[in-house]
Structure 1
Amino acid sequence: MVVLTGNSLTLEDIKRVVMEHESVTLCDIQRKKIELNRQTVEEMLNEKRVMYGINTGFGKFSDVLIEEDDLEELQLNLIHSHACGVGEPFDEKISKVMVLLRANALAQGYSGVRPELIQQLIDILNVGIAPVIPQQGSLGASGDLAPLSHLALVLLGEGEVFYQGKRMHTLDAFQQVGLIPISLKAKEGLALINGTQAMTAVGVITYLEMEKLLYQSELTAAMTMEGLHGIMDAFDADVHRVRGHQEQMEVAKRIREILRDSELTTAQGEMRVQDAYTIRCIPQVLGACWQTLHYAKEKLTIEINAVTDNPLIFSDDNKVISGGNFHGEPIAFTMDFLKLGIAETANISERRIERLVNPQLNDLPAFLSPKPGLESGAMIMQYSAASLVSENKTLAHPASVDSIPSSANQEDHVSMGTIAARHALSMLQNTRRVIAIELICAMQAVEYRGIEKMAEKTRLFYEKARYIVPSITKDRIFSIDIENLADWLKESQESDVTNLKGEVRVYE
């Protein structure tokens, strides 16, 4: 059971809830603080205090006062008018993370909502309902207005959801699970949509998947080293110790551990004096990629426990303050930075693919083909990898350097953080396919070298991956291999590549 306090949620907690279906509950202490915070809002309304978004319009309409009898309609109109998302919906996991993060942010007790509203979010999560939320339409300030409005619709029994693998109207799902739509009170609509939970949810999923993929890229690179008789001296601990980057030292240590019993790697001067950079500099490059991931973890951990609402209600001091915590710049920068690590993981992998298939760079059969000339082997797999890497380079352009004014120039600087996060996730998916292609080529290469000479860890990786993709004995439709292996890498538990999950397409 994950208990929401508003300030103690971890990335591991999110994984347990969204991927392992652990239940969520609201902390009793926080429930009391939330009730007090709501009471403060009610008292201020009775005092006729002017409060943005509570008894005024929104954005450029902030100077328009709203009559008391219209306050609930104001919140409903807000959700309906702001539900302008377009495009394909987010993956169900991302939608569920958004629900969890919104509940956690409101649980801090600075947003002036009722506990019932937060409980509705938790109930939706616990029964396995995921809102259908279009991916496009957010500027990343004032928060993720459009995506979160589609989330808010579900609380009201409107919009669409995913439930038990089917897309349906929200009321149909509610009837199946016994949930009842709620009505919004003053402030509650704004509290639901003023935040960074869309970009942060995409960022969290990207982080969790990238962490796993980096471990897998190291294991794949180690197998490539065996296929190319890579030189182990460049991974000596002293080499990396004297530079001092912790992540670089850790990558080198893991490669040494993976290949410690390999009979296929070589020593300096045994076959050649040194390897090309894509082999020799694996720790330096992937170590830097790990640095971008660690930075992302630090900032995401802060943001998943952040109050990103506006205005904020401080009950102890009887204050209502309009601020800008909804601005997504910290996450926009974070995701743009992480994109560099994702891009370079693919970039160096594609160059190793080239070294595996190019007969001018190795002594393996040309393009790893069983019958070079008659059969093309892995020739066009390298093309696909190159295409994915090039696409990543265009997506790596920082979204955060762009801004378009909105709401009649009242909201005149925005973060584009959700675009940055979406691009990072798209790049991750491209990179996973590049790693899959390298793994296919590396497996073929070690077969020529002798799999009985492989290290124990790479041999186990080879055997499990061979269950997904058979050896290349003749040309076939390699697209199926690439997608199968990429799916397997995605569904494997952490770096435990021995765990086979998901469906595998077979050859007819």
Structure 2
Amino acid sequence: MGAKAKVMNKQGLMNTIKEYLSLSEFESVIFDNQKIEISDAVLRRVKRSFNFLNEFSKNKVIYGVNTGFGPMAQYRIKDEDRIQLQYNLIRSHSSGTGKPIEPQAVKAAILARLNTMALGYSGVHPSLIHLMTELINRDITPLIFEHGGVGASGDLVQLAHLALVLIGEGEVFYKGERRPTKEVFEIEGLEPIQVEIREGLALMNGTSVMTGIGVVNVHKANKLLDWSLKISCAINEIVRAYDDHLSFELNNVKLHDGQRQVAEKMRGNLADSQLIRKREDHLYTGENTEDVFSEKVQEYYSLRCIPQILGPVKETIDSVAAILEKEFNSANDNPIIDVENRHVFHGGNFHGDYISLEMDKLKIVIAKLTMLAERQLNYLLNAKINELLPPFVNLGTLGFNFGMQGVQFTATSTTAESQMLSNPMYVHSIPNNNDNQDIVSMGTNSAVIASKVIENAFEVLAIELITVVQAIDYMGQKDSVSSVTKKMYDDIRAIIPTFKQDQVMYPFVQKVKEHLINN
């Protein structure tokens, strides 16, 4: 964290992080519940920044220290009102609405904000660092709502809700319950911070909520990519596709790393499959003399263009992850307290355009991944197209039973929603704040919408995967598929049974969705 914070690794050992918190170290705190510890070096740096600002601001006009905020910055604040000013800011901006942001994403937001504060460019009191660390280590997550931020002076409204908890007010999620902050602090023996100079503004002027949601989004997006690749391989096995579309030779004449990596992973997944065929054993034998070929010459695009479709998805996820890592290691509030040069710089590091654009990119590629899954599902369900399986992979009596017919509607509807949601927020700036914020990023909205698109993708892939294992059963292929596909098949069959008679489907879909998210 900053220069010398420590993060517990998976073996329970303490790792010292120097200058830069990697994404994997960040994720270990959020997803593996590793504890963090703040070193003396970080605390010294934070205290030095605080002491400098305290002295430097005495005879100077410093935004948010002795001025109002936003368009009210032209008004001087009396010395005796400075502390109350910060409390007024926090309370007045705790105005979010909508659904609560999920606790994992809030925890990520706290860590992102803590890492920024620990850099020593914010002029905050060290007590703030201590309390934020305790919130993370004790899994106390502030109630923060989805709606409220325009992502310009950072996540002002959402971060106000974090600040509200740090001053002992508002609500938190604690041990699965939503409770008043004051009650939880009493249980845990925690004391709220006492605002000193600019703790309110420093907490609120930043991109940490959109960044925290973004980290969770990328983590889940990587899972979706892995599942989509595995499911795509399984479908190629079911139809006994040829292997040349995933070959090294074909994919390496295109220079895109993502395509090459996806094709390589597919080759690895299918290495021990007994079903994938080689073209030279069939269509290249010289024995195909019929006018209408009985052998399928090429598969539909949703089966043979996997490297070309998922390649850009992988590269985009990787590039989004790199931007997030830079953002949570950046000083992104305003003004910036520069102790070394003994100056306070006013600017706009809180502006969320980087994250807004990356979240838009992420939701676009996840929407495309979802569209691929929907088309593959349609291929399996449409007997006229696949020419192998009964309509709707119905293992019961045709006409009397319905197979996977009902859940296709859900997959189609959900995919359509993701297509609509994938339109960019980045270009939807609306001036506000008396036109002080005359161009904004909408980064928080973009991150929240991306999380919805990701949630939708898990639902569609769950429906697709149930269909895949049903198809494997119909074809009698469970002992012929690759070991990767066999494990996936066995894991799903441990959750849901093979069904011939019609079933209430939503519990199955939910169970498989949870499996995809958690594995």
TM range (shorter): over 0.9
Aligned ranges for residues 355-504 of structure 1 at < 5 Å?
A: 355-362=379-386, 363-369=388-394, 370-450=396-476, 451-492=478-519
Partner of 2:51: 39
* SS of residue paired to 2:494: helix
Q: Match for 1:11 among 12, 16, 23?
A: 23
Q: Distance in 1 between matches of 2:207 and 2:100?
A: 17
1:280 maps to 2:304: yes
After the TM superposition, list the runs of 4 or more consecutive aligned residues in structure 1 that deviate by more than 6 angstroms.
3-6
Instruction: Report the alpha carbon displacement of residue 8 of structure 1 after superposing the two structures with TM.
Output: 1.3
TM-score where L is the length of structure 1: 0.94
1:107 maps to 2:152: no
Task: Verify the 8 A CA contact 2:155 2:208 in the aligned structure 1.
Answer: yes
Partner of 1:128: 139
Instruction: Report the alpha carbon displacement of residue 188 of structure 1 after superposing the two structures with TM.
Output: 1.1
Unaligned 5+ segments in structure 2 are 1-5, 8-14, 284-294
Q: Distance in 1 between matches of 2:82 and 2:64?
A: 9
Unaligned 5+ segments in structure 1 are 493-508
1:201 maps to 2:212: yes
Q: Match for 2:62 among 42, 47, 51?
A: 51
1:301 maps to 2:325: yes
Partner of 1:21: 33
1:88 maps to 2:112: no
Task: Verify the 8 A CA contact 1:264 1:449 in the aligned structure 2.
Answer: no
User: Aligned-residue CA RMSD in angstroms?
Assistant: 1.3
Instruction: Report the alpha carbon displacement of residue 5 of structure 1 after superposing the two structures with TM.
Output: 6.5
1:237-276: CA deviation from partner (whole Å, max 9, x where unpaired): 1000111211111111111111122222233346321111
Q: Structure 1 residues 382, 230: closer, same or farther in 2, change over 3 A?
A: farther
Amino acid at match of 1:191: A
Partner of 2:292: none
Instruction: Report the alpha carbon displacement of residue 416 of structure 1 after superposing the two structures with TM.
Output: 0.3
Amino acid at match of 1:248: Q
Instruction: Report the alpha carbon displacement of residue 107 of structure 1 after superposing the two structures with TM.
Output: 0.5
Partner of 1:338: 362
Instruction: Report the alpha carbon displacement of residue 7 of structure 1 after superposing the two structures with TM.
Output: 4.2
Aligned ranges for residues 144-293 of structure 1 at < 5 Å?
A: 144-268=155-279, 269=282, 271-293=295-317
* SS of residue paired to 2:65: coil
1:209-238: CA deviation from partner (whole Å, max 9, x where unpaired): 111111111111111112222221211110
Instruction: Report the alpha carbon displacement of residue 403 of structure 1 after superposing the two structures with TM.
Output: 0.9
1:41-86: CA deviation from partner (whole Å, max 9, x where unpaired): 111233x211000100000110100011111000000000111111
Amino acid at match of 2:253: V
Partner of 2:3: none
* SS of residue paired to 2:80: helix
Amino acid at match of 2:35: S
Amino acid at match of 2:155: D
Q: Distance in 2 between matches of 1:460 and 1:25?
A: 39
Task: Verify the 8 A CA contact 2:214 2:359 in the aligned structure 1.
Answer: yes
Q: Match for 2:79 among 68, 71, 82?
A: 68
TM-score where L is the length of structure 2: 0.93
Q: Distance in 1 between matches of 2:439 and 2:18?
A: 28
Q: Match for 2:351 among 310, 324, 327?
A: 327
Task: Verify the 8 A CA contact 2:418 2:456 in the aligned structure 1.
Answer: yes
Q: Distance in 1 between matches of 2:17 and 2:331?
A: 12
Q: Distance in 2 between matches of 1:27 and 1:10?
A: 17
* SS of residue paired to 1:452: coil
1:463-490: CA deviation from partner (whole Å, max 9, x where unpaired): 0111112112211111111111011110
* SS of residue paired to 1:476: coil
* SS of residue paired to 2:415: helix
Q: Distance in 1 between matches of 2:209 and 2:18?
A: 17
Task: Verify the 8 A CA contact 2:364 2:423 in the aligned structure 1.
Answer: no
